[in-house]
Amino acid sequence: MRRRDNFGVHIVSDLYGCDPKRLMRMEEIKETLEKTVEKSGLTKIKSSFHQFNPYGVTGFVLLSESHIAIHTWPEYQYVSLDVYSCGPPDGSFSAHKRLVEFFKPKKTSTRVFTRGKLDEADSYTDNKAISYRT
């Protein structure tokens, strides 16, 4: 078995200025996410989507490599997009690019994380030192 140095790429994006009508169409979003998974070389296990009343969609595709999650707020023209794959990074970046192109945001804020950097395993943060809001 090949030794790995991390557990994948996690791409987190905020998409602003998206078409609010598109953000309300659950079936179109579901179809797009599932086609994106296939075209990006990822492996779907299952998916689940929910249409909120009066509007907004939440959904995810569970992947054998990890997941893609989406949350829409049409009233703010906003999409929260989360793409994580422990497989080759090309799949994550391909899926992310396709989904951003589908939503056509006017502005995008994206962060890319490398998950589980094994060379940093000994320099972890002590959870006792983290302050949580309760």
5 near 113, Cβ under 8 Å?
Answer: no
Catalytic residue among 86, 92, 94, 96: 86
Catalytic residue among 66, 85, 92, 94: 66
Is 71 catalytic? The answer is: yes
Is 85 catalytic? The answer is: no
72 near 56, Cβ under 8 Å?
Answer: yes
One-letter amino acid at 26 equals M
Is 18 catalytic? The answer is: no
Catalytic residue among 47, 67, 71, 80: 71
Element (H, E) at 99: helix 89-103
**Cβ atoms < 10 Å from Cβ of 117:** 12
- Residues acting as catalytic residues: 66, 71, 86
